[in-house]
């Protein structure tokens, strides 16, 4: 990347209201360090109370999703101990947003799309009921956690979550998954 491209990138990030941005490999330690930096940034911006809690909770859920489910085509087999992902946190007017992205296999797209489209149709009360119901059930077979992450993100959001998939230009078996929550 040349310096002019980097400056354009910096301006785009600033003009988009981004207050925190990270792209790279993730591990539990890296997420912890980013979380500490995010807490400091929220305090410096005087973002407190329920808003800060929802931003932080959404950030953690999205990072855990990347850590548990991202597929990095550059690392094969059991050697994939770090996952690649991107997160941006910012504000648009009085609202805040948390956006994340990661790579995933094409074979997961339709199942994930169905799950997210269903969540988008639920009211806040229905999201809370679904959350409680899932707490009582066994996790889904493909889940590496309790299966509550997207419900937590949707519960903390002030409007329906947004998502999209983009095909990888170099590998047709890989999709780039993007998720956005407005707080």
| pLDDT tens per residue, range 14-63 | 999 999 999 999 989 999 999 999 999 999 989 999 999 999 999 999 99
Reading the block at residue 9, the tokens are: 């990138």
Assess contact for 139 and 108: CB atoms under 8 A.
no
d(CA 28, CA 25): 10
Span 132-154, pLDDT tens digits:
998 888 767 666 655 689 999 99
């Amino acid at each position: 990347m040349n310096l002019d491209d980097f400056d354009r990138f910096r301006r785009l990030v600033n003009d988009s209201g981004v207050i925190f941005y990270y792209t790279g490999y993730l591990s539990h330690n890296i997420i912890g360090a980013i979380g500490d930096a995010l807490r400091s940034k929220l305090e410096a911006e005087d973002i407190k109370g329920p808003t800060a809690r929802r931003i932080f909770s959404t950030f953690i859920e999205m990072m855990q999703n990347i850590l548990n489910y991202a597929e990095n085509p550059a690392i094969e087999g059991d050697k994939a101990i770090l996952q690649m992902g991107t997160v941006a946190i910012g504000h648009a007017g009085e609202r805040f947003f948390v956006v994340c992205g990661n790579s995933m296999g094409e074979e997961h797209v339709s199942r994930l799309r169905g799950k997210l489209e269903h969540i988008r149709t639920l009211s806040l009360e229905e999201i809370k009921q679904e959350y409680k119901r899932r707490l009582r059930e066994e996790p889904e077979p493909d889940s590496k956690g309790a299966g509550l992450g997207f419900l937590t993100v949707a519960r903390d959001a002030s409007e329906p979550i947004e998502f999209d998939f983009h095909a990888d230009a170099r590998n047709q078996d890989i999709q780039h998954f993007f998720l956005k929550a407005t707080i």
